[in-house]
Amino acid sequence: MAKLSVNINKIATLRNARGGNNPDLVKFAMDCEKFGAQGITIHPRPDERHIRYSDVYDLKKVITTEFNIEGNPKEEKFVELVLNNRPTQVTLVPDAENQLTSNHGWDTIKHQDYLKEIIATFKSKGIRVSIFVDPSIEMVEAAKTTGTDRIELYTESFAQHFHQDKEKAIAPYIKAAQKAAELGLGLNAGHDLDLQNLAYFKQNAPNLVEVSIGHALICDALYYGIENTIQMYLRKLL
């Protein structure tokens, strides 16, 4: 069974919209764990529009499952934040500073030297490293030589085309997953996975270790409740 890591950015967005501490981000993370989530993911950005840097320190104190911090390591404050908190995993994403959401993976060939250096920095502190990549054999092969422990396949394209032709949508991800397994890379996945497409992705992407899901899961929780929603997602990963 692949693990479910719940991305709680949207809970921070809701809190920040009104000020104060409602909903309580830390309590929400703890409740997600209590309800069955096997990890908590956050993606702090420089403008702190959802996750604040102070949240990271607060969450580090209470999370008992896997703590995954996503972000662009070219931001100096992000690197400092990760090294100070030493999460279970850091996921490196090539976001621009004002980007609304992640929309592409690393060019692991072009940025090979940089990735080797920053990955070594995190691994020297005992932090597992995953890097965001598109479902490309070349990008997966080059990811292996960066020293990363895992890759996270960027699944927006799969989700966009799933309802039109799911076999065509999954095809490049199967090949990328197979290559990752061949190279000994752990496989994560994330972006726009939901209750409709998750089971199919899990069944067809070999050796999937972890999915990180936020937006769709939180939207579903508005209707089904967070405890029930987490259980619904976990069943899709069986």
| Contact between 139 and 108 (Cβ < 8 Å) | yes
Ranges of each domain in the chain? 3-236
| Contact between 125 and 84 (Cβ < 8 Å) | no
pLDDT digits (tens, 9 = 90+) for 197-233: 999 999 999 999 999 999 999 999 999 999 999 999 9
Question: What is the percent of the chain where pLDDT is above 70?
Answer: 97
Is the pLDDT at 9 greater than 70? The verdict is yes
CATH topology of domain 3-236: TIM Barrel (3.20.20)
Per-residue model confidence (pLDDT) at position 100: 47
- Please state, in angstroms and as integers, the Cα–Cα distance from residue 161 to each residue in 109, 156, 158, 167, 222, following that order: 27, 9, 6, 9, 25
pLDDT digits (tens, 9 = 90+) for 143-172: 999 999 999 999 999 999 999 999 999 999
For the annotated catalytic residues, the residue numbers are: 43, 70, 191
Is the pLDDT at 177 greater than 50? The verdict is yes
Phi and psi at 60, nearest 5°, equal -55, -35
Position 104: which residue type?
Answer: H
Is the pLDDT at 116 greater than 60? The verdict is yes
Per-residue model confidence (pLDDT) at position 99: 47
Per-residue model confidence (pLDDT) at position 103: 53
Token output for 21:
């501490």
Average pLDDT over the chain, rounded to whole?
Answer: 95
The residue-averaged pLDDT of 4-16 equals: 98
Work out the angle at residue 223's Cα, subtended by the Cα atoms of residues 222 and 227, and round it to the nearest 5 degrees.
Answer: 75
The residue-averaged pLDDT of 112-128 equals: 98
| Contact between 14 and 34 (Cβ < 8 Å) | no
Per-residue model confidence (pLDDT) at position 38: 98
Is the pLDDT at 102 greater than 70? The verdict is no
Per-residue model confidence (pLDDT) at position 104: 74
- CA-based torsion, 11, 17, 23, 27: positive or negative: positive
Q: Is 142 helix (H, G, I), strand (E, B) or coil?
A: helix
